[in-house]
Structure 1
Amino acid sequence: MGKTVTTYLIDGDPKGTQYSFISNKICQMFVIPRSNLAYLNEQEKLHKPAFYILIGEDEATKPQAYIGETENFKERVKDHDSKKAFWQKALVFVSKDEDMTKADVQYLEYRAIAEAKQSNSFVLNENKQIPKAPNLPEHQRDAMEEFFEDIKFLSSFIGCNIFDIARPKEEHLFYTKGRGCDAKGYYNSAGFTVLKGSIVASDSVPSFRWTEKRNKMMKEYGVLNNAHYVLTSDLTFSSPSTAAMYCLGRPTNGWNEWKDKEGNTLDSVYRKQLE
């Protein structure tokens, strides 16, 4: 089923301050760069209970985030602005009806931290513990579950994959082996995802161009086990070739390298869609 998302670029800049919402839904997401916190003075909705994510996109292999809740984001972010150096923008989620309570946003924080830690796509160093779920009536808990699904959708809509958890179908799996590698994954609109438990080559060949970045990724997304690096979380790449090169530690064409159980290449399987 399709969805309609309305996005308004407040200053006309696609990377600037903006807000988005899904038609017929009450969840509204504000994207506020750290450089434009003055916008908070103009938006009364951000002086109310809110769930938020601070995002840092530095040179580290894995991006960093902080997940929180507050009764007044405008006041809360003052503390984050003075004490947290890593972040560049905030995603702030409020109700268009302005009827969320402190317990509601606490429940959203509880759900979000648990799911983000399971996804393991962002570093959450400052969210050391998963908070306990507040005591909500059943009908309100169900309403917040629906609200959280909209949070995940809107986050993904702007390219923030903090809650993405791979749920592949068996028939769509592709495999590659060689140089000690034994990896599997699948291809979709997000790119090529190498699945948790895959074994990647422990080193790279001399002609490999991004060895240093690969080594950092191996440490952040995997663990050394009997001289093999095993992925401890799913890892999505923008292209099948980048995924294959990471797994094998050598240059290769991922469209031909990844093969399904019957030996069909990724290229041949997806080329058939156009025939």
Structure 2
Amino acid sequence: MTQGRSIRLFLVDGAPNGLLTAEIMNWTGHVLTGPRSKLPEIIERPECARTGIYFLVGPDPDNSMRPLVYVGESDDVAARLKQHNREEGKGGKDFWEKVCLVTSKDQNLTKAHVKYLESRLMAQAKRAGRCGLVNGTAHEYGVLPEADQSDMAFFAEQIRIVLPVLGFDFLKAPAETGSAQQTPASPDSPIFEMAIPKYGINARAREIDGEFVVLEGSLARESWVSEHKGYSDLFQQLVQDGVLAPEEADKRRFTKDHSFSSPSAAAAVVSGRNANGRTSWFVEGTRTSYSDWQDEIISQQSHDSGEGSV
């Protein structure tokens, strides 16, 4: 079982949509985030005068399913943010609506450290596939001593933990389950299957870390067939990204495991139309639906805790 973490959040101006800081217990990192409208206040913060790594985040006009992200580093973040802000309308990085800055409370991050972090986090963002990365190719910075590389690997892992809490999930690693044929079912999350015999479609999935993951090798409809849009944008994005590749007999195949926000989102992509995932997915080899399986777990937990006893 993953060990719990304590994260301290502070609303700098008392507003939920204003400036926010975040820290993890026993981590020297410090995170500051806020909307671009608060940029005058952000650049006046002491954190912005330090060496750090930062993210510019905004919507992708060509893809509503994921954000655009720019990963940067500087030993004077305030100056770099001012520069980015001046690039508005000049073909520069004018897409961003939010900024997130990560520095060190002990101020021990050096220029070499943040260059290494920039490269590592860019590579992680590309692997995650949850955003469009504005940066070009990530550079490999291997000049750090071995001990420093280990420290920065830990530092990067803490960034990956805290950012989703702040609403940024672009570094969240995709679920790694192994191949569809080799992934074992577990008591916590069995293998689920969904079949559409009429079209020769069979898909398999697991629930991992709160996400519903359709496994590599699963089959789906060739195209979105419903007149209702629903998850059609998501379907087309997966086709564009190569997650759904053409398969014989008017089908598509998942080329890798893919995480969905819900069983219904996964069921819709598999079937090419809106679907209730809670009743479309079944525990493999049974007629127990996802909904029934979840209800059984809740009932068992209530029984084990003695709920309802006198």
Per the alignment, do residues 215 and 42 of structure 1 end up closer, same or farther by CA in structure 2, a change over 3 Å counting? same
**Counterpart residue number, 1:149:** 157
Gaps of 5+ in 1: none
Q: State the one-letter code of the partner of 1:200.
A: A
Task: Provide the rounded CA distance (Å) in 1 between the counterparts of 2:219 and 2:113.
Answer: 41
**Counterpart residue number, 2:12:** 10
- Say whether the 8 Å CA contact 2:226–2:272 is kept in structure 1: no
- Say whether the 8 Å CA contact 2:43–2:81 is kept in structure 1: no
**Counterpart residue number, 2:246:** 225
- Say whether the 8 Å CA contact 2:231–2:273 is kept in structure 1: no
**Counterpart residue number, 1:205:** 225
Q: Among residues 147, 160, 166, which one is paired with 2:168 in the alignment?
A: 160
What TM-score, normalized by structure 2, do the two folds share?
0.80
Q: State the one-letter code of the partner of 2:103.
A: V
Identify the range of structure 1 (40-49 vs 178-187) with the bigger mean alpha-carbon deviation: 178-187
Q: Among residues 257, 262, 268, which one is paired with 2:285 in the alignment?
A: 262
**Counterpart residue number, 1:186:** 206
Task: Provide the rounded CA distance (Å) in 1 between the counterparts of 2:200 and 2:29.
Answer: 47
Establish whether residue 106 from structure 1 lines up as the match of residue 106 from structure 2: no
After superposition, the C-alpha distances for 1:229-258 in whole angstroms (9 at most, x for unaligned) are 344565433321122112211232211211
Task: Provide the rounded CA distance (Å) in 1 between the counterparts of 2:227 and 2:262.
Answer: 20
**Counterpart residue number, 2:135:** 127
Q: State the one-letter code of the partner of 2:94.
A: A
Deviation at residue 20 of structure 1 after TM alignment: 0.2
Task: Provide the rounded CA distance (Å) in 2 between the counterparts of 1:98 and 1:10.
Answer: 21
Q: State the one-letter code of the partner of 2:104.
A: S
Establish whether residue 174 from structure 1 lines up as the match of residue 192 from structure 2: yes
What TM-score, normalized by structure 1, do the two folds share?
0.89
**Counterpart residue number, 2:308:** none
Task: Provide the rounded CA distance (Å) in 1 between the counterparts of 2:275 and 2:232.
Answer: 18
- Say whether the 8 Å CA contact 1:30–1:93 is kept in structure 2: yes
Task: Provide the rounded CA distance (Å) in 2 between the counterparts of 1:145 and 1:211.
Answer: 36
Task: Provide the rounded CA distance (Å) in 2 between the counterparts of 1:128 and 1:195.
Answer: 30
Task: Provide the rounded CA distance (Å) in 1 between the counterparts of 2:297 and 2:59.
Answer: 36
Gaps of 5+ in 2: 178-182, 301-310
Identify the range of structure 1 (41-50 vs 146-155) with the bigger mean alpha-carbon deviation: 41-50
Task: Provide the rounded CA distance (Å) in 2 between the counterparts of 1:212 and 1:243.
Answer: 12
Establish whether residue 78 from structure 1 lines up as the match of residue 82 from structure 2: yes
Task: Provide the rounded CA distance (Å) in 2 between the counterparts of 1:87 and 1:151.
Answer: 20
Query: How many residues in Structure 1 have an aligned counterpart in Structure 2?
Result: 274
Q: Which has the larger radius of gyration?
A: 2
Q: Percent identity?
A: 28
Task: Provide the rounded CA distance (Å) in 2 between the counterparts of 1:138 and 1:163.
Answer: 24
Per the alignment, do residues 184 and 39 of structure 1 end up closer, same or farther by CA in structure 2, a change over 3 Å counting? farther
Higher RCO structure, 1 or 2 (CA under 8 Å, sep 6+): 1
Task: Provide the rounded CA distance (Å) in 2 between the counterparts of 1:31 and 1:207.
Answer: 40
- Say whether the 8 Å CA contact 2:32–2:102 is kept in structure 1: yes
Deviation at residue 68 of structure 1 after TM alignment: 1.7
Matches within 5 A, 1:43-54: 43-54=45-56
Deviation at residue 266 of structure 1 after TM alignment: 1.8
- Say whether the 8 Å CA contact 1:45–1:98 is kept in structure 2: no
Q: For 2:170, what is the secondary structure of its paired residue?
A: coil
Task: Provide the rounded CA distance (Å) in 2 between the counterparts of 1:49 and 1:197.
Answer: 45
